[in-house]
Amino acid sequence: MSPVLNATYTSGHTVTNNYILRRLRYTFDFSDSKMIALFGLADYAVTREEISEWLKKDDDPAFVRLTDNQFALFLNGLIVEKRGKKDGPAPVAEHQLNNNIIFRKLKIAFNLIDEDILNMMKSANFIMGKPELTALFRKPGHRSYRECQDQILRNFLKGIQIKYHKDGGKAQDEESSEPMKVTATPDKTQMAIKREAREQHNQEHGPNSDIINGPQDKPAKKKKDGFQWQPVKK
């Protein structure tokens, strides 16, 4: 049986309900009013004070733990926000959550197919196969069912952040002061930078200036008789 997220609660990078709530708020830049509205879409009224207490860091004296049922309501509201409300009675919010359920709810909310998730995981430098991913969405008791470990869910949250945050891969992990490690491709090569600087200098000082071009880049001189000569290279 998968462990309940709130069964053991420790500080640091443990993937708890509060941790995920903070990550989602950061990724989508949700205001307090927006978060109150998302809870409201699941017919659950919360106050700004409660939002503030849930979003505080774990070691803050004013920190309050977000229960499984409360977080399930938030995720249900997020699904309604992103996918629209279905006809009929609203889904019942779970009283016990695990990583598999949370992963599935986020998958539904953002309308992701397996290939989307695999690409997002890859963007977070976490490689997994499709059978491994599919096993996370099996029903408990199925012979192929697999528990979703914290590492998998944490990297999925990082992939969501890379895909949806306004700064993309440059965004910081809100739980850390260190920027996320994302391989960057230089916009310009050194040759392109040098060529651009030379062109800018020539426009300002003329093509014969040797401040940038240097003596080796001077155009060939002409003798009075019209023949060209080249300086002898030593």
- DSSP letters for 26-81: HHHT--HHHHHHHHHTTT----HHHHHHHHS-TTSTT--PPPHHHHHHHHHHHHHH
- Torsion on CA atoms 88, 90, 95, 100, rounded to nearest 10: 90
pLDDT tens, N- to C-terminus, the chain (234 residues)? 333 343 333 333 479 999 999 999 999 999 999 999 999 999 999 999 999 999 999 999 999 999 999 999 999 999 999 999 888 888 899 999 999 999 999 999 999 999 999 999 999 999 999 999 999 999 999 999 999 999 999 999 999 999 999 876 554 554 443 333 333 333 333 344 345 455 554 555 555 544 444 444 444 454 444 445 455 554
Directed axis angle between helix 99-109 and helix 68-83, to 10°? 20
Tell if the pTM clears 0.75, that is, is over it. no
Number of residues that make up the chain: 234
Say how far apart CA 217 and CA 153 lie, in whole Å.
57
Report the pLDDT value the prediction gives residue 6, as an integer from 0 to 100: 39
Q: Which residues contact 175 (CB under 8 A, 6 or more apart)?
A: 13, 19, 22, 23
Asked if 172 and 180 touch (Cβ cutoff 8 Å), the reply is yes
Report the pLDDT value the prediction gives residue 12, as an integer from 0 to 100: 39
**Max CA-CA distance within the chain?**
97
Helix (H) or strand (E) holding 229: strand 228-229
Residue 79 burial (CB count, 10 A): 22
Q: Which residues contact 192 (CB under 8 A, 6 or more apart)?
A: none
